[in-house]
Amino acid sequence: MGSPLASTPKALLLDLDGLLLDTVALPLPLTLKPSRALTPMHQVLGLAVPPEQLLAESEPLMAARWADAPLLPGAMRLCRHLVSSGVPFGIATSTPRATFAAKMSRKHELRAMLAERPGAVVVCGDEVARGKPHPDVFLAAAEQLGVARGRGGAGGRAQRHAAQGATAAGMRVVVVPSLVGADADYGAPDPSAASGLVQLLPSLLAFQPASLGLPPFGDLLPREPHPGGGVIPMDRLVRIRGAVVKGFGRGSKELGIPTANVDPAVVAAALAEAVTGIYAGWARLGSSPTVYKTVMSIGWNPFFANKHKTLEPWILHTFDKPFYGERLSLLICGYVRPEANFSSLEALVERIHLDARVSEAALECEPLAAMRDDPFLRE
């Protein structure tokens, strides 16, 4: 991933919203500080009661909704890995302490790892004098971890001001942008920088601790080294069912790879928030008793610059005829790699075949192999 870092980080500081928790999926008023959300609402509606009263009356409802914020892909994997490998880490968040408690109230394992284990460090926005983009929350967390300025790393996703705050604290920063196309807001990463942006990733699933000199993940399948890298077993399986429709006609004609396209309406409903990339899984056509291995892309396909997110599975089996209109059931259970652009059509085709080979090998391994018997694929 470019030039190596000058030294291994002594600890990692993680943002909360947008990196571990998907608070972006919650209604806008819940993702803003209460004063910022309720004051303009009060003005627009011309309410007689002051914003402070609105806050007092809505706070219990807001607390309940915070508990519903879903985990982002790769969040539990990263936290489990940091705990099991003994890497010091903490949370540096703008979230007030009471709201942090609300967000953790139904996430027992995550709460235990972030806030209840021995030596846990969580610094909240209402516990420092200045919020992001000032460095206060990062410096306070680093101090609690016993890490000298400039010897830590920070990961964030929610806003540019988090990256600015970590940089001002002298930290090396890994950013996962919240929005598609937001990479330009951060500039080009410099993997060898002593502070500032060192990596810009499409999702936490693409993060490789070994690139920072930290212990590598140990969950890639197959266990043996593979030219295609490896497949990450997913914490949350994705089950999707829809009709096979005619797509762009590129799979067979241009690539020599007979991909299927799933009804765009089904994709929009089920995968609107899905991390783009290449995935492995199992597929069943219609009422056939056979379940097939499959590799698929979810995203915009940078090489062809799609305008809409698509789901294009390549069922790893040779069929006698097209199956347009057939019901396709997909169980998505492994992450292969991020989407990428390629310098040539030949390079794209070569990589797709490599994705297929590593997916086939991974799907022979547990726990992915047993997922072919998932009840969803037998309905």
Catalytic residue among 22, 136, 312, 374: 312
366 catalytic per annotation: no
Catalytic residue among 15, 22, 136, 355: 15
Query: ∠27-32-33 over CA atoms, to 5°?
Result: 140
Catalytic residue among 17, 22, 355, 374: 17
273 catalytic per annotation: no
Secondary structure of the chain in HEC code, one letter for each residue: CCCCCCCCCCEEEECCECCCECHHHCCHHHHCCHHHHHHHHHHHHCCCCCHHHHHHHHHHHHHHHHCCCCECCCHHHHHHHHHHHCCCEEEECCCCHHHHHHHHCCCHHHHHHHHHCCCCCEECHHHCCCCCCCCHHHHHHHHHHCCCCCCEEEEECCCHHHHHHHHHCCCEEEECCCCCCHHHHCCCCCCCCCCEEEEECCCHHHCCHHHHCCCCCCCCEEEEEECCEEEEEEEEEEEEEEEEECCCCHHHHHHCCCCCEECHHHHHHHHCCCCCEEEEEEEEECCCCCCEEEEEEEECCCCCCCCCCEEEEEECCCCCCCCCCCEEEEEEEEEEECCCCCCCHHHHHHHHHHHHHHHHHHCCCCCCHHHHHCHHHHC
User: How far is residue 32 from each of residues 27, 96, 173, 243, measured CA to CA in Å?
Assistant: 9, 12, 24, 39
Rounded Cα distance between 327 and 10, Å, is: 51
Amino acid at 371: M
17 catalytic per annotation: yes
Catalytic positions, please? 15, 17, 312
